[in-house]
Amino acid sequence: MPIVSRPEDFNVDDLYVDLRPVLAAPLYLKCEGFNFAGSIKLKAATAIVDAAERDGLLSPDSILVESSSGNLGVALSMIAASRGYRFLCVTDTRCNLTTRQLMEALGGQVHTVAEPSADGGFLGARLAYVRELCTADSRYVWLNQYANPSNWMAHYQRTAPAVAQRFPDLDALFVGAGTTGTLMGCARYFRETRPEVTVVAVDSVGSVSFGGPPGSRLIPGLGAGVRPLMLDESLVDDVVLVPEPDTLRTCHRLAGHGYLFGGSTGTVVSGAMRWLAEHRPGAGTTAVAISPDLGERYLDSVYQPGWVRENYGPTALEEPARAERLAVSGVSG
């Protein structure tokens, strides 16, 4: 076992779940939640803070500030505690309670934006608050995960090469789109080194990242109310948009087999299954989906029956055909 002196130095980068016994689909899931921050965001957070230190942007009285739906905030809270910085996370009401509590337990401060902006949703409102804060007080240093090249570079240098080494016969890679740091890093790597690999972006219905109309989204992680600045669609081979009820059903299906993953994982796996069924039917394909985090932070939302019923209706977890029959007959699930 490794011995580490800083929490950010530990990350399991070679764990995959073969989902064929669970989903009857030729899909391997790269699990990124096994580190002290609990998500793939540890890679980007470490790279961004390292770059800020190298560039001389941080001083002992600096206060790191970032907009985050949760996971990057936890990673930055952990790194700030490790390196002696103060940290403020600007999030919104969709951030899970457990995630906010984790940030605070690590010494971070949390500001929750309660109202979305008219033209940018919750993300637009969060970014506006960060800009106002930095303008008013020079101690605040905005790391800006949305435009910081260290975000995508972390995955170009670490995530994508790990997948390529483990799967030399890879046919398709499925990556969720939030800030698009993971997506752009992986897409650039495979475009340059193995262009025969199909890179598929998976996003949530209601996200504007790929030109879709804005809509309500309650599950944090993927999607955006403002088009990501680092997104280059020319590097992506295809895009799948997943409705949140599909995300919920996939999460619960995986949990029913003992795998408790986060909402973003449910979205990516759902999108990958749909794409594979349409474009690569059969068992001859080698495909990998990236799982950003585990499910403990979603126990009060995705895995809470009352929350699911309140926000998606009584039949949300039923398969679509069965849900339609129940709705017509007036029977709730």
For position 327, what pLDDT does the model report? 37
My answer on whether 160 and 267 are in the same domain is yes
Cβ 199 vs Cβ 187: under 8 Å: yes
For position 23, what pLDDT does the model report? 93
> What does residue 35 show for φ and ψ, rounded to 5 degrees?
-155, 175
Q: What is the mean pLDDT of the chain?
A: 92
pTM of the full structure = 0.92
Cβ 7 vs Cβ 38: under 8 Å: no
My answer on whether 137 and 179 are in the same domain is no
Q: Which of these ranges, 178-187, 244-253, 323-332, has the smallest mean pLDDT?
A: 323-332
My answer on whether 110 and 160 are in the same domain is no
My answer on whether 206 and 82 are in the same domain is no
1 pLDDT tier (thresholds 50, 70, 90): low
Give me the torsion for CA of 318, 323, 329, 330, rounded to 10°: 70
Residue 324 has pLDDT above 50, yes or no: no
Residue 1 inside a domain? The answer is no
My answer on whether 138 and 153 are in the same domain is no
The whole-number average pLDDT for the span 229-239 is 96
The whole-number average pLDDT for the span 185-198 is 98
The whole-number average pLDDT for the span 219-245 is 93
Residue 231 has pLDDT above 70, yes or no: yes
Residue 326 inside a domain? The answer is no
My answer on whether 180 and 266 are in the same domain is yes
Residue 165 has pLDDT above 50, yes or no: yes
Residue 333 inside a domain? The answer is no
Identify the CATH number of the domain in which residue 117 sits. 3.40.50.1100
Residue 223 inside a domain? The answer is yes
My answer on whether 163 and 287 are in the same domain is yes
Dmax over CA atoms of the chain, in Å, equals 65
For position 36, what pLDDT does the model report? 97
The whole-number average pLDDT for the span 257-283 is 95
The whole-number average pLDDT for the span 207-216 is 92
**Measured distance CA(178)–CA(292) in Å, rounded:** 11
My answer on whether 165 and 16 are in the same domain is yes
Strand 198-204 relative to strand 172-176: parallel, antiparallel, unpaired?
parallel
Residue 227 inside a domain? The answer is yes
My answer on whether 223 and 263 are in the same domain is yes
The whole-number average pLDDT for the span 169-176 is 98
Residue 253 inside a domain? The answer is yes
The whole-number average pLDDT for the span 92-105 is 91
Cβ 71 vs Cβ 293: under 8 Å: yes
How many domains is the chain built from?
2
For position 330, what pLDDT does the model report? 40
Residue 314 inside a domain? The answer is no
Could you tell me which residues come within 8 angstroms of residue 269 by beta carbon, excluding any fewer than 6 positions away?
19, 23, 27, 29, 174, 250, 254, 261, 289, 291
Residue 332 has pLDDT above 70, yes or no: no
Q: What is the three-class DSSP state of 172?
A: strand
My answer on whether 28 and 158 are in the same domain is yes
Domain of residue 112 covers: 41-142
